[in-house]
Structure 1
Amino acid sequence: MSGGKILWIAVWLALAGGLYYLADSMLNPNKLSVLGEASTVTLQRGPDGHYRAEALINGTKVNVLVDTGATGVAISQDIADKLNLSSNHAVRTSTANGNTVSYMTRLNSVKLGGVEANNVAAVIAPGLHGEVLLGMSYLGRMDVRLFQGKMTITQVE
């Protein structure tokens, strides 16, 4: 392969990497490294109108969808397995997709930036795919404010 072709491949790879970084920054602006450790965290709303972030659950990094309309924290079976969570007992839950069975559990800690809650009620929802829904069993312990596309969450405990 000639030196010119290698240079073009390197340029295209650099451009692709740069585009990926920019797209990821726009779609996922609330990374752990950006949120910091302060007792107040400000989340940027994503282009789809939702607040997504990286959080620590029991010390493990997971992607969460902050959902003020959710009663509690809901975790997919895949993420529950990753976190080694066990279920205490089955409960019937009502979701936007209808009624389903979920499994009650407790989280030792949920941390979003420097805003942390311990002993948080959650459910393992086998029908849930992807992110964790971070609902009111966590958010209800905090001061949460929405203003101009930003969600500010402040530790109050």
Structure 2
Amino acid sequence: MNSDNLAQLIYLVLLGSVIAGWFFVGNRKNLGKTAQQAAVWGLIFVGVIAGIGLWSDIRDKVAPSQSYMDGMATVEVPRAPDGHYYLTLDIDGTAVRFVVDTGASDVVLTKADALRVGIDVDNLFYGNIANTANGEVRTARVKLQNVRLGEIVDLSIGASVNAGEMDKSLLGMTYLQRYSKIEIGGGKMVLRR
């Protein structure tokens, strides 16, 4: 603890003592009630401080998010509470959230995500058939012109648009194989170029 921190701590202790002393002197007729109120406020204060101190841990558990290592072309993705890994990519200027699926051979967009990135889904030819865990689905081939993940930019990525209902877009191996190393362990996935 340096001298500035020590001086701030002493100041805060003195200020707290003066306020507490004033409060007790002003309410000396009801000291039992005053002590009870002081204890409640003290617990509220401790709870707020604990919440602030634990906020980053709470945020990572409730809504984990990807992080980038500057200049290293490395992305770290925490495992979500449902056990999956999610990556948000910028596709042609629009953020799209994908579930990482190493069992999928392709990048597959839902119709809703395809619409958001500017693809006219009504005029696509759904002539391809993909075999999924839920059976066969019809898909249409598209090109994603500009795909960005942090500092990493890929141009002209092949993808498919699923003609059927799908909850989330899938980030499959046609994109993931562009990374030289993928590590999964310790509750996180690390992608390195």
Instruction: Output the TM-score relative to the length of structure 2.
Output: 0.61
1:25 CA displacement: 4.4
Q: Which residue of 2 aligns with 1:30?
A: 65
Q: Which residue of 2 aligns with 1:135?
A: 172
RMSD across aligned positions (CA): 2.5
Where do 5+ consecutive residues of structure 2 fail to align? 1-51
Match of 1:74 among 92, 108, 113: 108
Q: Which residue of 2 aligns with 1:152?
A: 190
Q: Which residue of 2 aligns with 1:14?
A: none
Structure 1 segment 112-127 matched on structure 2, within 5 A: 112-127=149-164
Q: Which residue of 2 aligns with 1:40?
A: 74
Q: Which amino acid aligns with 1:47?
A: P
The 1:67/1:115 distance shift into structure 2, 3 A limit, reads: farther
How far does the alpha carbon of each residue in 1:112-151 deviate from its partner, in whole angstroms, 9 at most, with x for none?
2223322111100022433221111110111222222221
Extract structure 1 runs of 4+ deviating beyond 3 A: 21-25, 34-38, 86-89
The 1:22/1:147 distance shift into structure 2, 3 A limit, reads: closer
Q: CA–CA distance in 1 between the matches of 2:58 and 2:167?
A: 19
Q: Which residue of 2 aligns with 1:97?
A: 134
Where do 5+ consecutive residues of structure 1 fail to align? 1-17
- 1:85 equivalenced with 2:119 (yes/no): yes
Instruction: Output the TM-score relative to the length of structure 1.
Output: 0.73
1:75 CA displacement: 0.3
Which structure: greater helix fraction?
2
The 1:126/1:28 distance shift into structure 2, 3 A limit, reads: farther
The 1:153/1:90 distance shift into structure 2, 3 A limit, reads: same
Moved more, 73-82 or 145-154: 145-154
| Structure whose CA Rg is larger | 2
Larger RCO, structure (CA 8 Å, separation 6 or more): 1
1:37 CA displacement: 5.3
Identical pairs, percent: 30
The 1:36/1:85 distance shift into structure 2, 3 A limit, reads: farther
